[in-house]
Structure 1
Amino acid sequence: MQCFNVKPLSLHLSAVLVLAICHPLGADVLKPATEAIAAQPVLTFCYEDKQLLPYYTENSRDIPDRPGATIEHLKIAAEQVGITIKLTRMPWLRCLQQLEDNSVDALVAAYDKDRAHYTEYPKRSDGSADPSLAINQLGLCLAHRFDNPIEHKIAAQQQLTVSRPLGYKPIPFPENTLLIGAQSPDNALDLVINGRVDATTVLCQLNGVDARERHLNLLPLQLLYPPLHQSFGYLMLSKAFYHQHRQLSEQLWQTLPQTLNKLRYLEYLSYPD
């Protein structure tokens, strides 16, 4: 394309005019760097609006300055692969519903075959979930009142009442266990402390290290080791996000184990100190 002579109004303005006239894509050349940044994929991550240490802090829909080990971990991994994280908090069951209808892009959960039809997660060659690419690992123990030893009930296969938050993934329990729904982990603990149920499940192992939340030491509770159940938390992606950003999704899964900081998770067990 032929360029025309332009009488410069100023050195800067004439340069702009020449670019606009001589280059059909001149407008793209002049786009500010902020637009390139804005083009970075955004992953909307949904997590529970109830505190669940060390993963998430505060009982609120707001995002605190110290959001929890999982949030910090995810942000570091996402930054390395070029993904922007947008956080949203709501009740856990709503997070699952919105992932299913692609209203949010991701959450962290254990593998569950009932969720497999609407989630994408790191897989082995045979299609099973790959623990080596999990974002974290945990062990759950039964917590019971110190004056209500439950070992004899378990050994005698007597009825054992256990409280668990609604919507949490089912796990194997001793025979003759009766599950009682709770509104939150704290509510489940209250039911045990008040003698309404025999036990609840609490975190007692974290990324291979035996650990417990510090506030449990202040409660009239004992933990029954070894862990009743071990599970792996996976970054579950929506079908829509994965299919649109397949390569970045795979890179993010690969990066999560590499950026795991066990100390960060352990430190959050003492939140807010």
Structure 2
Amino acid sequence: MPAVATITPAENTAGLTLRFCYEDKQLLPYYAGNNADIPVNPGATIEHLQQATAAAGIGLELLRMPWLRCLQLLEENQVDALVAAYSAERAHYTRYPTDAYGQPDPAKAINTNALCLAYRFNNDLPHKISDTTAGLTIARPHGYRPLPLPEHATLVGAHSPEQAIELVVSGRVDATTVTCEINSVAGNQQEIDTLPLKILQPPVYYSVGYLMLSEQFYQQHNAIAEQLWQALPLTLDQSRYIEYLTYPLNF
């Protein structure tokens, strides 16, 4: 674990709790476990957030729901925060750390990751990508934001990342996206290495995850919001993110 960040609260934080919403499907290394339950080992992002909120002197309430529901509740100010990449269509109801030019500040992100395509070992995916006349199907979980994938690709919805991988393994689709780099460190979920799958390099997408706050929380606790964003890089434990790729084997 990194050294505990020392931050002097800029306001009285007694009784203040951050209501954090995240999806009720496992997404390693970030979130562990399925459904609304919070497992003892909740995932690297949750442990990271626990450290950051403690450094800022506030409590943390965890809520698990379908991803689109989390977004809706943030827009309605019924939850205080979630983790997401910056998106212009969500900018009107989210608050995120910005730099001197008013742009999203990756120096205060909660994590970064890269996505690669995973495909069956006996599927000539590189050829299907280069040949625009070839059929190409890519599975992505419902509610996930669109990615800059090949224009001739047909997207197939899945209920979860696990189901998307199952569709690839069974040969029903050609590929799906999986995390292949976390916080600038190469790594993928250990399950991938036990399946008849290959990872296509280089990554097709790089993402920066920000702690997105509701408009209401930011307006009421502006100083705490800034302290939370400052605490995130100070409490980042890169090794913990990599360890969660082996969940639950080594926990």
TM over 0.5: yes
Superposition pairs of residues 110-129 of structure 1, within 5 angstroms: 110-129=85-104
The question of 1:188 aligning with 2:164 is answered yes
1:256 is matched with which residue?
A: 232
Q: 1:226 to 1:242 in 2, by over 3 A?
A: same
1:14 is matched with which residue?
A: none
Are the equivalent residues in 2 in contact too, given 1:56–1:69 (CA < 8 A)? yes
1:34 is matched with which residue?
A: none
2:9 is matched with which residue?
A: none
Percent identical pairs in the alignment equals 57
Q: How far is 1:182 from its partner?
A: 0.8
1:30 is matched with which residue?
A: none
Of residues 211, 215, 219, the one that matches 2:187 is 211
In structure 1, C-alpha distance between the alignment counterparts of 2:222 and 2:124, rounded to whole Å: 50
Are the equivalent residues in 1 in contact too, given 2:13–2:57 (CA < 8 A)? no
TM-score for both structures, normalised by structure 1: 0.84
1:61 is matched with which residue?
A: 36
Tell me which amino acid in the other structure corresponds to 2:126: E
Q: How far is 1:191 from its partner?
A: 1.1
Of residues 239, 246, 250, the one that matches 1:270 is 246
In structure 1, C-alpha distance between the alignment counterparts of 2:217 and 2:191, rounded to whole Å: 38
List structure 1 runs of 4+ shifted beyond 2 angstroms: 37-40
Tell me which amino acid in the other structure corresponds to 1:215: E
Superposition pairs of residues 40-51 of structure 1, within 5 angstroms: 40-51=15-26
Structure with the greater relative contact order (CA < 8 A, sep ≥ 6): 1 or 2?
A: 2
Q: How far is 1:132 from its partner?
A: 1.0
Aligned length: 237
Tell me which amino acid in the other structure corresponds to 1:258: L
Q: Secondary structure at the match of 1:175?
A: coil
Q: How far is 1:149 from its partner?
A: 1.8
Q: How far is 1:118 from its partner?
A: 0.8
Of residues 139, 148, 154, the one that matches 1:172 is 148
1:27 is matched with which residue?
A: none
In structure 2, C-alpha distance between the alignment counterparts of 1:123 and 1:166, rounded to whole Å: 29
Q: How far is 1:40 from its partner?
A: 3.1
1:233 is matched with which residue?
A: 209
Q: How far is 1:125 from its partner?
A: 2.4
Gap regions ≥5 residues in structure 1: 1-36
Structure in which a larger fraction of residues adopt helix: 1
Tell me which amino acid in the other structure corresponds to 1:209: V
